[in-house]
């Protein structure tokens, strides 16, 4: 064992001293301790680059050798500070902020107003006149003013887009549309089930609106796990309002895909899927929020979905492309009002060609467009200019609700 009679530092040379050498044997009573010894060193010089702005960029004009701002410190052999003096230099340099103004650029905020799934089949042909799908985009009218860039994320077909602006008084005026969580995006099923995403969120309701609606648009994708989630799995969806489950729905429909009139598609197009069908529009689900909230208040909205099955954990890798919108409205413009929003048959609209041509059992979609609950109405159907049929309908439809008659 070597022992010195003074404390040594790494890198120190000591003259005129001999190490104390002792020999011993036996066991050591105590464990060895680690001692941290600081290594003292001089400050390293740094290279300083001086630059000036020139024609929207910076150019180097000079370099310097310097040291960071600080002090020269002197230490004793035991590591204690003996004295400290500021570093003296011939000049001092400081960084300065330079604000650069770039030309104005366009802010792009993608808003999804509708969603469509392309047909299956590489050789599938929609015919010389194509095929028409009709969307009601009234709730997005705030974006349809002036110059608007429209995009369709589809490179398979040539798309012809037209807007029909219908003159008249709407059931209620749209004040604004806003996303609840974010604009449309993809969400992982496992994170949705674990409440990692789409968590409870406080939403401030407009104090100039009278009524509110939640509009949802969801489609399940991915084929993971034993049951190929989330394209082929029927999950349950829910929205809570202030912690209370208010809206429960399923986007799975066993019959919709098979009713698609584009029957010349290839592959698995007729089979039911989670919220979408090849060659068709993605359906929207709407929920009237007004009975549960007050204008100007802050409401907590929370999305929930069923758990990932413990027997099939691989389903957690599936995903949903989803949009959740909050629409704010004025009070209804009519107390009692109704509308026939569509005729299913007879109709020559190609989207309803699975049920047409038809000469019997006409069907329409009846909608309540008034503030009061619609319980009855009289429907007239003209066969020609002289004669008509009369049908008296009874039921129970709230504002904005529809029924096939």
> Is a pLDDT exceeding 70 seen at residue 13?
no
* Of 103-107, 284-288, 387-391, highest mean pLDDT: 284-288
Pair (325, 354) in one structural domain: no
What pLDDT score was predicted for residue 48?
84
Pair (242, 149) in one structural domain: yes
Q: Of 371, 285, 284, 300, which Cα lies nearest the Cα of 329?
A: 371
What pLDDT score was predicted for residue 30?
67
User: In terms of residue numbers, what domain contains 394?
Assistant: 338-404
Q: What does the alpha-carbon distance between residue 18 and residue 402 come to, in Å, rounded to a whole number?
A: 103
Q: Tell me: the pLDDT tens digits for 328-382? A: 999 999 999 999 999 998 999 999 998 889 888 899 999 999 999 999 999 988 8
Q: Is 175 left (phi over 0), alpha (psi -120 to 50) or beta?
A: alpha
Q: What does the alpha-carbon distance between residue 161 and residue 150 come to, in Å, rounded to a whole number?
A: 9
**Residue range 277-301: average pLDDT?**
95
Q: 117, 276 in Cβ contact below 8 A?
A: yes
What pLDDT score was predicted for residue 277?
94
Q: Is residue 102 part of a domain?
A: no
Concatenate the DSSP letters of all residues of 53-111 into one string: EETTEEEEEEEEEE--S-EEEEE-TTS-EEEEEEPP-S----------PPPP-------
Concatenate the DSSP letters of all residues of 5-27 into one string: SS---TT----S---EE----S-
**Alpha carbons within 13 A on the beta-carbon side of 185:** 11
Q: Tell me: the pLDDT tens digits for 389-405? A: 899 999 999 999 999 99
Write phi, then psi, for 269 (nearest 5 degrees): -55, -30
3-class state of residue 256 by DSSP: coil
Pair (317, 345) in one structural domain: no
Question: Does 24 or 336 have the greater pLDDT score?
Answer: 336
DSSP annotation of 189: H
Q: Of 83, 202, 213, 195, which Cα lies nearest the Cα of 139?
A: 213
b/e map 285-312, b = 16+ CB within 10 Å: bbbbbeeebeeeeebebbbbbeebbeee
Q: Is residue 200 part of a domain?
A: yes
Q: Is residue 6 part of a domain?
A: yes
Contacts of 403 (CB under 8 A, 6+ apart): 365, 366, 367, 395, 397
Q: Is residue 95 part of a domain?
A: no
Q: What is the CATH number of the domain that holds 256?
A: 2.60.120.230
Q: Of 293, 285, 195, which Cα lies nearest the Cα of 242?
A: 293
Pair (176, 322) in one structural domain: yes
Q: How many domains, in total, are found in the chain?
A: 3
Pair (318, 343) in one structural domain: no
3-class state of residue 397 by DSSP: strand
> Is a pLDDT exceeding 60 seen at residue 10?
no
Map 346-368 to HEC letters: CCCCHHHCCCCCCCCCCEEEEEE
Write phi, then psi, for 46 (nearest 5 degrees): -120, 155
Pair (175, 268) in one structural domain: yes
Contacts of 108 (CB under 8 A, 6+ apart): 149
CA distances (Å), 146 to each of 142, 170, 201, 328, in order? Answer: 10, 21, 33, 22
Asked which of 63-77, 118-132, 224-238, 389-403 is least confident by mean pLDDT, the reply is 63-77
Q: Which of 86, 106, 136 is the last residue of a domain?
A: 86
Q: What does the alpha-carbon distance between residue 63 and residue 60 come to, in Å, rounded to a whole number?
A: 8
Pair (313, 203) in one structural domain: yes
Q: Tell me: the pLDDT tens digits for 307-334? A: 999 999 999 999 999 999 999 999 999 9
Pair (302, 167) in one structural domain: yes
> Is a pLDDT exceeding 90 seen at residue 232?
yes
Q: Which of 329, 358, 392 is the last residue of a domain?
A: 329
**Residue range 41-53: average pLDDT?**
79
Pair (314, 353) in one structural domain: no
Q: Of 344, 366, 370, 364, which Cα lies nearest the Cα of 355?
A: 344
Q: Of 325, 329, 332, which Cα lies nearest the Cα of 367?
A: 332
Q: 181, 201 in Cβ contact below 8 A?
A: yes
Mean pLDDT of all residues belonging to the chain: 87
Q: Is residue 109 part of a domain?
A: no
Q: 181, 269 in Cβ contact below 8 A?
A: no
**Residue range 104-116: average pLDDT?**
83
Pair (67, 155) in one structural domain: no
Asked which of 99-113, 165-179, 306-320, 342-356 is least confident by mean pLDDT, the reply is 99-113
Pair (325, 362) in one structural domain: no
> Is a pLDDT exceeding 90 seen at residue 33?
no
Asked which of 147-156, 266-275, 388-397 is least confident by mean pLDDT, the reply is 147-156
Q: Is residue 96 part of a domain?
A: no
> Is a pLDDT exceeding 70 seen at residue 240?
yes
Q: Is residue 296 part of a domain?
A: yes
Residue length of the chain: 405
Q: Is residue 169 part of a domain?
A: yes
What pLDDT score was predicted for residue 1?
46
Joined together, the tokens standing for residue 350 give 């190609």
- Band (pLDDT 50/70/90 cuts) for residue 12 is low
Q: Tell me: the pLDDT tens digits for 68-81? A: 777 878 877 777 88
Q: Which of 329, 360, 395 is the last residue of a domain?
A: 329
Share of the chain above pLDDT 90, in %: 56
What pLDDT score was predicted for residue 20?
67
Pair (214, 318) in one structural domain: yes
């Amino acid at each position: 064992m070597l022992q010195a009679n003074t404390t040594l530092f790494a890198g120190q040379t000591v003259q005129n001293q001999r190490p104390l050498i002792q020999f011993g044997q036996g066991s050591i009573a105590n464990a060895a301790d680690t001692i941290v010894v600081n290594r003292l060193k001089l400050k390293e010089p740094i290279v300083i680059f001086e630059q000036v702005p020139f024609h929207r960029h910076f150019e180097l004009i000079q370099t310097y050798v310097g040291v960071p701002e600080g002090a020269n410190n002197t230490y004793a052999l035991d590591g204690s500070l003996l004295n400290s003096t500021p570093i003296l230099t011939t000049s001092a340099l400081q960084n300065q902020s330079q604000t650069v103004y770039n030309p104005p650029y366009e802010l792009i905020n993608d808003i999804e107003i509708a969603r469509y799934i392309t047909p299956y089949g590489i050789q599938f042909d929609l015919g010389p006149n194509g095929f028409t799908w009709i969307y009601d985009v009234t709730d997005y009218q705030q974006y349809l003013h002036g110059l608007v860039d429209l995009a369709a994320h589809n490179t398979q077909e040539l798309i012809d887009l037209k807007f029909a602006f219908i003159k008249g008084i709407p059931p209620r005026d749209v004040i604004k549309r806003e996303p609840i969580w974010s604009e449309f995006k993809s969400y992982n099923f496992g994170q949705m089930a674990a409440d990692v995403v789409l968590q409870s969120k406080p939403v401030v309701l407009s104090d100039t609106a009278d009524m509110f609606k939640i509009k949802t648009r969801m489609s399940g994708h991915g084929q993971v796990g034993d049951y190929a989630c989330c394209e082929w799995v029927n999950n349950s969806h829910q929205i809570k309002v202030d912690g209370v489950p208010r809206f429960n729905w399923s986007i799975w429909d066993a019959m919709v895909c098979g009713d698609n009139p584009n029957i010349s598609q290839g592959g698995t197009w007729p089979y039911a899927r989670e919220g979408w069908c090849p060659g068709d529009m993605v359906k929207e689900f709407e929920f009237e929020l007004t009975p549960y909230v007050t204008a100007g208040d802050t409401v907590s909205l929370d999305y929930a979905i069923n758990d990932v099955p413990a027997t099939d954990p691989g389903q957690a890798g599936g995903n949903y492309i989803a949009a959740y919108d909050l629409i704010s409205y004025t009070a209804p413009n009519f107390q009692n009002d109704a509308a026939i929003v569509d005729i299913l048959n007879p109709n020559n609209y190609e989207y309803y060609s699975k049920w047409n041509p038809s000469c019997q059992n006409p069907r329409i979609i009846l909608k309540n467009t008034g503030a009061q609950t619609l319980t009855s109405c009289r429907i007239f159907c003209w066969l020609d200019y002289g004669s008509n049929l009369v049908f008296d309908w009874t039921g129970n439809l709230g504002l904005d609700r529809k029924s096939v008659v």
